[in-house]
Structure 1
Amino acid sequence: MAIVRICARPLLASMFIAGGTDALRRPAPLAPAAEPVVDALADIPGVPRRTVNAVRLNGGVQAATGLLLAASGNGHE
């Protein structure tokens, strides 16, 4: 069962890394879906006003946490 855990983390992390880097590089196609969320959160300090910037921020967080997930744990819990 340990081999499954060793392989599972990087495989799961790859989805977050790929999606995050795609959002960082090409945020425009994702912006229309994110616009209602960004508009709803616009009054919160620190939330980007431009939807494209919010998509980039989210992509950066996804990519970074995906890298952390891939690097964390060695199967010995």
Structure 2
Amino acid sequence: LTDADDLKSQTGYVFVLNGGVVDWKIAKQSIFATSSAEAEYIAAFDASKDAVWVRKFIFGLSVVPTVEEPISI
């Protein structure tokens, strides 16, 4: 999605663990992407950074015995 006023794309993702939402984000991208492919790369990079943080946070809480499964985006 792109905002018609400033042509910045939107990023959105949801992380689910055992059927429950543990983290989400919906935000306008801070930079101007010159193509939809570039906007998708920006969104994927943003989601991957957050996925690594969420994985470490949940592992630190010891609510799951192990977090060894790959993160799928």
Fold match by TM threshold 0.5: no
Higher relative contact order (Cα pairs below 8 Å, separated by 6+ residues): 1
- Which is richer in helix? 1
- Which is richer in strand? 2
Highest Rg: 1 or 2?
A: 1
